[in-house]
Amino acid sequence: MAVLVGKSAPNFTAQAVVDGQIVENFSLEQYLGNKYVILFFYPKDFTFVCPTELHAFQEALPQFEERGVAVVGCSTDTEMSHWGWLQVPKAQGGIQGVTYPLVADTNKTISMAYDVLAGEYDVDEDGELITHGELIAYRGLFLIDKEGIVQHELVNNLPLGRSIAEAVRVVDALQHFEEHGEVCPMNWEKGKPAMSATHEGTASYLAGN
């Protein structure tokens, strides 16, 4: 699996649904120099674990927005599938009320670029395209800074939901480092002491904890 941390996030232009409206040419370029981005992939519309994650990101949207972070979801479903799922109330398993962009990676190229595409495809001896497993996205999550560089990535297998609290924590850690130049030790949270990236800084931090 390719690791994108420290590299430019693959850009894309695709159809998306934003606040209930279909957008023809959605791109990450709109955020460059302006916002951080949490880009997360999920397997399928109209499923079970996925709506819990999509609603959780919506509920946490104010936390991300106050940190200057745009949240963008993406799956291999079509934009019409996204739109249809948005019409279904939460109590019925839908995602009505989700306002952040949902990108339609219909031809799988975005998932491939971020290396989160489950399943494989090949060509058989007759020249026919064949697949092994469903070509859907794993639960990938990428934190992209304002310069378009991936600073954090996480990929879960299909049954394993993610932690919104951890996504917020990593944003806080990155912004603390950018502002103060201090690195963030294990389980660091906003408001807790960080440490300078020196042997003396490590010793001082450990002595105080």
Range of the domain at 99: 13-161
Verify that 61 and 90 share a domain, yes or no: yes
Is 74 assigned a catalytic role?
A: no
Judge whether 65 lies within some domain.
Answer: yes
178 and 155: one domain?
no
Q: What three-state secondary structure class fits 57?
A: helix
Catalytic residue, candidates 4, 38, 50, 141 = 50
pLDDT digit string (tens) for 108-117? 999 999 999 9
What CATH code is carried by the domain that includes residue 86? 3.40.30.10
Give domain status of residue 23, yes or no: yes
How far does the chain reach from its first CA to its final CA, in angstroms? 37
Residue scoring higher pLDDT (168 or 132): 168
- Which residue type sits at 175? Q
* Residues 152-163, mean pLDDT to the nearest whole number: 96
pLDDT, tens digit, for every residue of 22-68? 999 999 999 999 999 999 999 999 999 999 999 999 999 999 999 99
Confidence of residue 204 (pLDDT cuts 50, 70, 90): low
Indicate whether 73 and 152 sit together in one domain: yes
Q: State whether 150 and 184 are in the same domain.
A: no
Model confidence over 119-148: pLDDT tens digits? Answer: 877 666 777 766 677 899 999 999 999 999
Same domain for 167 and 153, yes or no, is no
**From CA 174, how far away is CA 144, in angstroms rounded?**
10
Q: What percent of the chain has pLDDT over 70?
A: 90
- Count: domains in the chain: 2
Residue 112: count other Cβ atoms within 10 Å of its Cβ. Answer: 14
Q: What percent of the chain has pLDDT over 90?
A: 84
Between β-strands 129-132 and 120-123, what pairing exists: parallel, antiparallel or unpaired?
antiparallel
pLDDT value at residue 83? 98
Sheet arrangement for strand 139-144? 21-27, 13-18, 102-104, 69-75, 36-41, 139-144, 150-156
Q: Are residues 205 and 131 in the same domain?
A: no
User: What is the chain's mean pLDDT, rounded?
Assistant: 92
Task: State residue 69's pLDDT score.
Answer: 98
Do 43 and 139 fall into the same domain? yes
pTM of full prediction above 0.95: no
CA–CA distance, 99 with 61 (Å, rounded to integer): 9
Same domain for 87 and 29? yes
Do residues 131 and 30 share a domain?
yes
Whether residues 86 and 169 share a domain: the answer is: no
Residue-wise pLDDT for 66-113, tens only, equals 999 999 999 999 999 999 999 999 999 999 999 999 999 999 999 999
User: How sure is the predictor about 203, in pLDDT bands with cuts at 50, 70 and 90?
Assistant: very low
pLDDT of residue 196: 85
